Structure formats: structure tokens, C-alpha cells
Amino acid sequence: MKIFPAIDLRDGKVVRLFQGDYDKMTVYNQNPVETAKSFAAMGASCLHVVDLDGAKDGKLVNFDTIFSIVHQVGMFVEVGGGIRNMDRVRKYLDAGVSRVILGTAAITDPDFLQEAVQTYGDKIAVGVDAKDGFVAINGWKEVTDMESFSFCKKLRDMGVKTVIYTDISKDGGLSGTNLDAYEKLQQIEGLSITASGGISSLDEIKKLRGMVDAAILGKAIYSGILDLKEAIAAGEKGENTL
């Protein structure tokens, strides 16, 4: 199981939001490249980057910062946030990003999702954010009537290889992740699942190792509750491929 430390970007800074609330934001570092290099020094080979400005306003405010991370750090970098058309997908992949993550647009514009998957294959992932078992969109503000597990199966059938599944209620709360959800998701054959949201102990990481292919760590490593080196050791023992 690969471990992806997370870097959330706003105005070129490394920040964390609590449950997606832009009014509950903590700034951790003014220099995202420095943060990424520190993760690499601790043994991380993968990085999860979210452009919060892109997600909120649809503008590529942080593109130059992401470009710098990709070219100065040399990790497998996946990027999400505001990727709503093929031009933006192309721009990120041409810039050297390893994988792009489609969120709301994957739900609201299935034709775009289909085109992206047909064109770029496994370089496309979909972020599925769930609230009470239903898919949430638009920065988690709107909950749809789509059941999240059924939607993940639909994505698999459309050719999506990787889903990043987040239980919104767990994100940023350091209260543990939704292990039951990942136990259920692992039954979807042919779909690689990345766990995201609330992971806060080595014990959880060890349990997830048997269920998912990757896990994203955010607030737990920024707050010092989890040591990234230890988390990587716990997660990548008997690691799966990406």
C-alpha cells in the first residue's frame, strides 16, 4: 500500500481545511516545494496535491507551484482541484504530473470523464467524496442522490482505474477513518481504491493495507500525531502497485 502525504494549496501556501471549510483553514508552510522535499527525505515516493483555489474558483492560481513541485522533487505526483475540462487535464499531464484527479466534473459531466479516461487511461483518477453514504459535490456543499458504492462500480465500468474515496465526516477530524467503507469497496473487482480522510494511527494503516492500494495522510502528519517515516514503513510493507 502506497502512502501519499498530502499538500493542499491555497494562494501558494501549504494549508489544511477542516472538513472542507475554507473558513477553518490552518497555514502550515509558505513554501510547498520545501514541504514536498521534506516528505521525500522521509521516504515518500508519492504525493497528493490539491489546488484549493482551483476547486473553489476554477482558476489555476497554483499551477506554477505545482510545476515546481513536480520538477524539483521527482515524486509520483497526483493533482486534483478544479480540473473541469480536457485542456486542464492536458496542461497538468504535459507539465509532468503523474495523475490527475477529477472530482465534481466527473459526476456532473460524464462525457468529459469518458473522454478523459479514453484519452489518458490510468492517468485519470476520480475523487469520490461521500456523506452518509451518498456522493457529495461542489466542495462538499451539495449531496446528490447517488449512492457512493454504486457510483464507484459505475466508474469502474466506465474504465476508471483509481478512485480516491473520502468520508467527509472523517476528514481533518483525527478521529479515525471509515474502515467499514473500505472493507466494502475492496470487493469491487478491477478498481484501485485510495483511502482518504481521518487516518490517524499506525494500527489503521496496517488494517487498511489489506483493503486498499494507497492511503492519503494529511492533518495527522502535520500535527505530529503520525510520523511519516513510520507510516510509510507500516503501509508499504508488502506494498501493492499503484
Residue 227 designated active-site: no
Burial 89-110 (b: 16+ CB within 10 A, else e): bebbbeeebbbbbbbbbbbeee
**Catalytic one of 8, 53, 167, 171:** 8
R_g over Cα of the chain: 16
Beta strand 162-167 with 76-80: parallel, antiparallel or unpaired? unpaired
Residue 53 designated active-site: no
Give CA–CA dist 64/67, Å, rounded: 5
In this structure, the number of other CB atoms found within 10 A of the CB of residue 119 comes to: 13
Q: Could you give the C-alpha distances from 51 to 35, 61, 193, in angstroms and in order? A: 15, 8, 21
CA atoms within 13 A on the CB side of 170: 24
In this structure, the number of other CB atoms found within 10 A of the CB of residue 239 comes to: 15
HEC letters along 150-163: HHHHHHHHCCCCEE
Give CA–CA dist 215/110, Å, rounded: 26
Backbone angles phi, psi at 100, to 5 degrees: -110, 150
Q: Three-class SS of residue 126? A: strand
**Catalytic one of 11, 64, 87, 129:** 129
**Would you give the distance in Å from CA 101 to the centre of its chain?**
7
List residues with catalytic annotation: 8, 129
